[in-house]
Structure 1
Amino acid sequence: MGIHSQQGLARELNVASAASQTSEATQLPVLMARQPIYTKSQDVAAYELLFRDEEGNFVQGLKDDDATLEVLLNTYSGISKEGKPESVPFFLKVTDQVLLSESIPDLPRHRFVLELLSHTEVTPVLIKRLQELAQAGYRLALSGFDPADNKFFPLLKIIHVLKLDIQLIGLERIPGLVQKLKPFNLELLADKVETQDEFRQCLEMGFALYMGYFLSKPTLVRGRKITGNKLILLELLTELQRPNATAESVQQIALKDAALTYKILRVVNSAAFNMQREISSLSHAIALLGMDQIRRWVMLFLSKSDNGKPDELTRNMLVRGRMCEILAELTQHSEPLDYFIVGLLSQLDVLMDTDMETLMTQVPLQQPIKDALLGRLGEHGKLLKEVEIYERGEFESLHHLVEKPFYEVAYRHSLKWAEQVLQAMSN
């Protein structure tokens, strides 16, 4: 890990108040979230933008708002792959009215895929307009395709990506449909993929892209036990939760795994870059930095997959944890770090492929945190549910714990923070 990336991450982790940073950030006229679109190997190929302004529109607001476009390109499209920052394209939903009014802003062609909606009225004028956009270099997608409705078939010769709602169409009908679509040479996107079994079936059918919450549900393995460095991390967490824990007692547990001890020491050493002396032991680091910072590092390492899970899962765990923490600060809850823990560990069952009830018997957390993770109960659970609602783009269901613009700024800040952490943990 390079010293500059270490120092940048250290500053993020030692930030005095995320709420103050959020208050100072540029506020946008829209609420935005992003949903990943995956490849066959479950890497992120693109993000679909979820958005809402006061009138329920997005593209019209983007046309005259360079700040929004800059945030999209610099933050929302950013991901970390093998520790290196990259950008992926967006799928941007547009109505036929927007297309025909020629109100699409001059977007970078390679960064946006224009997605037509199921209620699009297919007319000769629209077909001509889509042909012009395709010739101008835009990639076009169609969602909500109904194979029983002939109106869509003229579009199949123009668009590049066809999104098929596997729940609406039915998995049993998909193989025959895929065969009929082959002559059009379309990139097929399986939408509403809810389980790993559905993902495997779609994979066998030849889909190139996938959307849905299949990564957010555990594949339960009967009798699975937590082993390896995850077990050591849970032991560390147990000790760090004890009121009378000491730097030496924490170090004794970490020393059971030499490689993990070195890894923790390496990043913790970078967190103390502004101190005059080198950190020589974990107990020394804990004494200098305090239990809360060590506890945060243990949580971050706990979220990192070591069983082949896609990076997007860890990314989402980090984003969710950080956004919970920021909203806790903005709403003046005590112990914001506990809200970070709730958000971060809310998908621990998916990471471990073990049900949350079993995990909670092994994870040494305070009861309010366990209640939030098991049933979304209490203040911690209420705030976690709010973050989950936001990340799904269900903006109309928000309970407005803070003013609308602060949700987007908190989400944006969390995206950037998560990428910094992923980059640092990959080096």
Structure 2
Amino acid sequence: MAAVVARQPILDKNKNVFAYELLFRGGDTGTENFDGDKATAQVISNTLESIGFKNLTEGKPAFINFTDKLLKQGIPDLLNPENVYLEVLENVKVDSHLLYVLKTYKDRGFKIVLDDFIFSKNLISLVELADFIKIDFLAINGAERKNIIESCQIYNPNLKFLGEKIETHADYMMAVKMGYCYFQGYFFTKPEIIQTRESNSYEFSFFKMMEELNKEEPEFKTLEEIVRSDFSMSYSLLRIINSAHFGYDVKSIRQAIVLLGVDKLRKWSLLYFLKGLNSNKPDVLFKTAVLRANFAESLSEYFSDDKSNNLFVLGLLSVIDGYLDRDIADVLEEISLFGEFKQALISKEGKLGDLLSLIESFEKLNFKQCQQYLEGYSLDYDIISRKYINSLEKSEEIIKAFENY
């Protein structure tokens, strides 16, 4: 079974992507047969030979797990210390050989990260060498999350601390207050709890546009009026239609709308609005939306019997609650989205619900759940994995295209 490298973002205090952790995706994950040495080796080989650091990390540092065996064998020699952080696993055996190897790598410019750290005196020598320490917020509770920081800083005051498995906005705020500088988890994909919220004019245009596009027979005249009322959107639409991708020479908003057609217009207008709504959200949220959209579209032959279904839009809408900080059921009512799309987005029902669950299992590296859906739909893991990699590459192209709009 082919391995796929998964990436999980690491955010800074401003919720900007600081780095990506590269993780193994393969058949034995989470089982007693799991081989950590083999997993890291496959992460490195897939990254260097197949996918490429550029595609995976976008120029950001990469955190990669290492066992003591791989560190002692010199595997990091294959990597560039400028873009790789050596993540030392929690089950390493601390001895003089390991400490010598880590010091050698640190002198060469590699950053040393201690994973799933729990303080004990026999780890002080590692603490003194480390640049980052990761604390698992699901395993460590309450004041102990702060006590670890204080204990470690006695021996290394320059340490930076990363809270991982941050699942809620409350966890994130607590971590900031305790002195954590970096964060890893799924809090950035969930809406913040806000008691009252006033929609801005940009969101008002978004709702009008999507409501019209989701009608059985959208009126081109109405669509034209909505676009023309927003100068930024007008400019974006003309840029898209006149790009090399479409190859037109169009000067009219009406002509652009007609040439694109409802399906492509629905896809691109939603992308445009999400990018605009992204101003006060982590960039990774937009990237997550685009990746989900491409991955969902690539799997349409397995999960949709209706060729008119735009599964790209389904993927984009799966994060809309995170953008608007509102319950997704309320959002879908306002854009007149009903039927199986609504059931899938709200309660993960039906084939499309299974599709979204499969995508989320890939994101969360939940191989057991992923395998259930693959078996349930008689899907080949290698084929789906290649589609995921292709979707990742395609997403980067779309994101770059929108950077200048």
TM-score (norm 2): 0.87
Cα deviation for residue 225 of structure 1 reads 4.8
Q: 2:203 aligns with which of 217, 221, 230?
A: 230
The whole-number CA distance in structure 1 between the counterparts of 2:46 and 2:363 is 24
The whole-number CA distance in structure 2 between the counterparts of 1:272 and 1:72 is 25
Q: 1:266 aligns with which of 221, 239, 262?
A: 239
CA offset digits 1:303-346 (Å, max 9, x no partner):
22255111111111111111111112466753375222221111
2:298 corresponds to which residue? 326
Q: Which structure exhibits the higher relative contact order, with contacts defined as CA atoms closer than 8 Å and separated by 6 or more residues? A: 1
Q: 1:283 aligns with which of 254, 261, 268?
A: 254
Q: How does 1:4-19 map to 2 (within 5 A)?
A: none
Cα deviation for residue 351 of structure 1 reads 0.6
From the superposition, tell whether residues 242 and 42 of structure 1 become closer, same or farther in structure 2 (CA, over 3 Å): same
Q: 1:60 aligns with which of 41, 46, 49?
A: 41
1:8 corresponds to which residue? none
SS for the counterpart of 1:49 is strand
The whole-number CA distance in structure 1 between the counterparts of 2:352 and 2:338 is 11
Cα deviation for residue 138 of structure 1 reads 2.4
- Whether the 8 Å contact between 2:165 and 2:186 is mirrored in structure 1 is yes
Cα deviation for residue 68 of structure 1 reads 4.2
Q: Does 1:158 align with 2:135?
A: no
From the superposition, tell whether residues 251 and 209 of structure 1 become closer, same or farther in structure 2 (CA, over 3 Å): same
2:54 corresponds to which residue? 74
- Whether the 8 Å contact between 2:5 and 2:43 is mirrored in structure 1 is no
2:31 corresponds to which residue? none
The whole-number CA distance in structure 1 between the counterparts of 2:193 and 2:177 is 22
2:283 corresponds to which residue? 311
- Whether the 8 Å contact between 1:234 and 1:364 is mirrored in structure 2 is no
From the superposition, tell whether residues 140 and 90 of structure 1 become closer, same or farther in structure 2 (CA, over 3 Å): same
Q: How does 1:374-385 map to 2 (within 5 A)?
A: 374-385=346-357
CA RMSD in angstroms comes to: 2.4
- Whether the 8 Å contact between 1:255 and 1:261 is mirrored in structure 2 is yes
- Give 5+ residue unaligned stretches, structure 2: 29-33
Q: Does 1:218 align with 2:198?
A: no
The whole-number CA distance in structure 2 between the counterparts of 1:54 and 1:371 is 31
- Whether the 8 Å contact between 2:228 and 2:253 is mirrored in structure 1 is no
1:124 corresponds to which residue? 96
**Letter matched to residue 77 of structure 1:** T
- Whether the 8 Å contact between 1:90 and 1:113 is mirrored in structure 2 is yes
1:405 corresponds to which residue? 382
CA offset digits 1:181-225 (Å, max 9, x no partner):
224021211112222222222223322211111112111323435
1:174 corresponds to which residue? 145
1:369 corresponds to which residue? 341
CA offset digits 1:141-198 (Å, max 9, x no partner):
1111112x33322211112211112332223233333223224021211112222222
CA offset digits 1:367-395 (Å, max 9, x no partner):
11011110111111111110110011122
**Letter matched to residue 160 of structure 2:** E
Q: 2:394 aligns with which of 417, 422, 426?
A: 417
The whole-number CA distance in structure 1 between the counterparts of 2:62 and 2:147 is 29
The whole-number CA distance in structure 2 between the counterparts of 1:215 and 1:166 is 15
The whole-number CA distance in structure 1 between the counterparts of 2:27 and 2:73 is 21
From the superposition, tell whether residues 62 and 297 of structure 1 become closer, same or farther in structure 2 (CA, over 3 Å): closer
The whole-number CA distance in structure 2 between the counterparts of 1:391 and 1:194 is 14
The whole-number CA distance in structure 2 between the counterparts of 1:293 and 1:233 is 16
SS for the counterpart of 1:110 is coil
Matched length: 388
From the superposition, tell whether residues 150 and 158 of structure 1 become closer, same or farther in structure 2 (CA, over 3 Å): same
Q: 2:220 aligns with which of 230, 244, 247?
A: 247
- Whether the 8 Å contact between 1:29 and 1:61 is mirrored in structure 2 is no
The whole-number CA distance in structure 2 between the counterparts of 1:66 and 1:255 is 47
From the superposition, tell whether residues 104 and 258 of structure 1 become closer, same or farther in structure 2 (CA, over 3 Å): closer
Identity %: 26
From the superposition, tell whether residues 312 and 202 of structure 1 become closer, same or farther in structure 2 (CA, over 3 Å): same
From the superposition, tell whether residues 62 and 232 of structure 1 become closer, same or farther in structure 2 (CA, over 3 Å): closer
From the superposition, tell whether residues 173 and 138 of structure 1 become closer, same or farther in structure 2 (CA, over 3 Å): same
From the superposition, tell whether residues 357 and 245 of structure 1 become closer, same or farther in structure 2 (CA, over 3 Å): closer
